[in-house]
Amino acid sequence: EGQTLWGGRFSAKPAEVMQAINVSIGVDHRLWEQDLKGSRAHCRMLMAQGIVSADDGAAILDGLDRIEAEIRDGTFPFRDEFEDIHMNVEARLSELIGAPSGRLHTARSRNDQVATDFRLWVRDACDRTLAQLHALQRILLDRAEAHAGDLMPGFTHLQPAQPVTLGHHLMAYVEMFGRDHGRFADARARMNESPLGAAALAGSPFPIDRHATAAELGFDRPMANSLDAVSDRDFALESLSAASICAGHLSRLAEEIVIWMTPQFGFVTLPDELTTGSSIMPQKRNPDAAELVRAKTGRITGSLIALTTVMKGLPLAYSKDMQEDKPPVFEAFDALDLALTAMMAMVAALRPNLERMRQAAGSGYSTATDLADWLVRELNLPFRQAHHVTGAAVKRAEALGVDLGQLPLAELTALEPRVTEAVYKVLSPEASCASRLSFGGTAPDGVRARIAEWRSRLS
């Protein structure tokens, strides 16, 4: 009762504080599925290599099935005195099947066991995230397609800059989430090697078949250095880094939703289901979901910093510090999962106020660049001079309280005598947008072409 699995050379039980600082089952129970998978692969390999007898192997596999059933129906006893998921499973296996259980850990250490389990977990998490990113991109594509020709202001410094379309703006995020997808896919490809069989740190004297376990677990190959296999967590760091960058993208979109939802902007609304009210101010409709997506970035990036800091300076091979790898990774992927899911719901439900956005697109002298470009194109002014003339025109328009398109021709010819009526047709936000046909620009036809490309990439 209460014997540790490593008690042979010990005569006293761990102090309370030893157990308190050492215990990880409260966190790493989440690795149970990966742990069973790894143990089954290891057991089958031991049987195939004649290291464990067919009878003992069968008993072990049967016991692992029973453990899986117990965990699934909630009757498995997770016990702190067995420290982590690996020893909880092994202790329970011993209770269920007796003596043969002791053979499962042949040619294995918790060091390669946990490295394997954790890789499998992070790989699954990356796969989930990859699917979610594509799902989010599809939702953005649908919304972008519907609004490929609907105007909104483009900003720099959050000041009106040049008109763009809502579709073009949303497609910017499709590109960002596409790169995020690429980062997770790269991380997944690099992490897909098996540590199992590295044993404690030096490999094993038993005739194990690491290629077989690697293949059974869906890894491309076994890791080539046993010390490296049990002691690096770069796969987790790389995934956290991808998660952190992705969270940054989500946060920027969330921030835009927050801004667009202010009555001052009034660009979009979100339905009741995705907003909250105030307990005191009856008029309120708050974009809490967007704010929380924005905030999750803190946790996710914090997790990257936490694990980077844990890993720096650890001598090879395994050190117990590395047990602290799981909380940040679990926390980050939980947060990212929720943030992506909430963002999908918001993007799908956003109700743009197209009239308001169109009006805003034309205000703030947003077509000033078009005027300057016209002066260059039609009158062959050097751009710097055109910039100056246009600046003066904006100043006049501001003084008269009109948009550039309403500035009387006499005002323009006073600044540059060769200006003609023809200039007015470039001064509308529609014309401005439609003229930006350079590759990657906001012209609706270009945006539609990019949407079609992404659709075929995602199908």
Active-site residue identified among 157, 438, 456, 459: 157
Question: Among residues 121 and 424, whose Cβ is nearest to ligand ARG?
Answer: 121
Selection from 138, 149, 176, 158 nearest residue 442 by Cα = 149
Q: For ligand ARG, which is the closer residue by CB, 84 or 403?
A: 84
CB of 288 to ligand ARG, least distance (A): 35
Is 114 near ligand ARG (CB under 6 A)? Answer: yes
Q: Which stretch binds ligand ARG (CB under 6 A): 109-117, 287-295, 366-374, 427-435?
A: 109-117
Among residues 42, 92, 110, 188, which is the contact residue for ligand ARG, using CB under 6 A?
A: 110
Establish if 28 lies at the interface with ligand ARG (CB under 6 A). Answer: yes
Alpha-helix runs per DSSP H in 226-312: 226-231, 234-261, 288-311
State in angstroms the smallest separation of the CB of 318 from ligand ARG. Answer: 5
Residue 61 burial (CB count, 10 A): 16
Residue 382 and residue 380: Cα distance in Å, rounded? 6
- Is 366 one of the catalytic residues? no
Tell which residue, 335, 347, 265, has the closest CA to residue 293: 335
231 versus 367: smaller Cβ distance to ligand ARG: 231
Q: How far apart are CA 260 and CA 264, in angstroms?
A: 8
Residues 201 and 223: their CA atoms lie apart, in Å, by 12
Question: Which lies closer to ligand ARG via its Cβ, residue 23 or residue 381?
Answer: 23
101 contacts ligand ARG (rule: CB under 6 A)? no
- The active-site residue, picked from 42, 169, 244, 278, is 278
**Residue 23 near ligand ARG by CB under 6 A:** no
**Crossing angle of the two packed helices 166-191 and 234-261, in degrees rounded to 10:** 170
CB closer to ligand ARG, 311 vs 322: 322
In this chain, which of 39, 111, 213, 297 binds ligand ARG, going by CB under 6 A?
111
Tally of CB atoms within 10 A around 340? 24
Q: How far apart are CA 52 and CA 65, in angstroms?
A: 18
CB of 445 to ligand ARG, least distance (A): 55
Which C-beta is closer to ligand ARG: that of 317 or that of 443?
317
Residues 316-345: x/- map of binding to ligand ARG (CB under 6 A)? Answer: --x-x-xx----------------------
Q: How far is the CB of 307 from ligand ARG (least distance, A)?
A: 13
Q: What are phi and psi of 109, to 5 degrees?
A: -130, 160
Closest approach of ligand ARG to the CB of residue 90, in Å: 12
* 24 scored as a contact of ligand ARG (CB under 6 A): yes
Draw the binding track, 73-92, toward ligand ARG (x: CB under 6 A; -: no contact).
-----------x--------
Residues between 390 and 409 that touch ligand ARG (CB under 6 A): none
Nearest-angstrom CA–CA distance, 400 and 351 = 35
**Contacts to ligand ARG from residues 290-319, by CB under 6 A:** 318
Residue 220: C-alpha distances to residues 194, 211, 234 (Å): 8, 9, 17
Q: What whole-number distance in Å separates Cα of residue 327 and Cα of residue 337?
A: 15
Could you give the residue ranges of the DSSP H alpha helices within 192-233?
A: 210-216, 226-231
Q: Which is nearer to ligand ARG, 82 or 374 (CB)?
A: 82
Sign of CA dihedral 70, 72, 73, 78: positive
Q: Which stretch binds ligand ARG (CB under 6 A): 10-18, 106-114, 213-221, 234-242?
A: 106-114
Q: Judge contact between 129 and 243, C-beta under 8 A.
A: yes
Number of residues that bind ligand ARG (CB under 6 A): 10
The full DSSP string for 347-410 is: HHH-EE-HHHHHHHHHSSSTTHHHHHHHHHHHH---HHHHHHHHHHHHHHHHHHT--GGGS-HH
Whole-number minimum distance, CB 82 to ligand ARG, in Å? 10
Query: Does 232 sit near ligand ARG (CB under 6 A)?
Result: no
Contact indicator for 51, 206 with CB cutoff of 8 Å: yes
Residue 157 designated active-site: yes
| Terminal alpha carbon distance of the chain | 57
Q: What is the closest distance, in whole angstroms, from the C-beta atom of residue 74 to ligand ARG in the complex?
A: 23
**116 touches ligand ARG (CB under 6 A):** no
Q: Minimum Å distance from CB 96 to ligand ARG?
A: 22
Residue 230 or 412: which CB sits closer to ligand ARG? 230
* Cα distances (angstroms) measured from residue 314 to each of 99, 118, 240, 309, 328: 37, 18, 19, 10, 18
Q: Which of 165/323 has CB closer to ligand ARG?
A: 323
Task: Report how far residue 174's alpha carbon sits from residue 168's, in angstroms, rounded to the nearest whole number.
Answer: 10
Contact residues toward ligand ARG (CB under 6 A) are 24, 28, 84, 110-111, 114, 318, 320, 322-323
What amino acid positions are annotated as catalytic residues? 157, 278
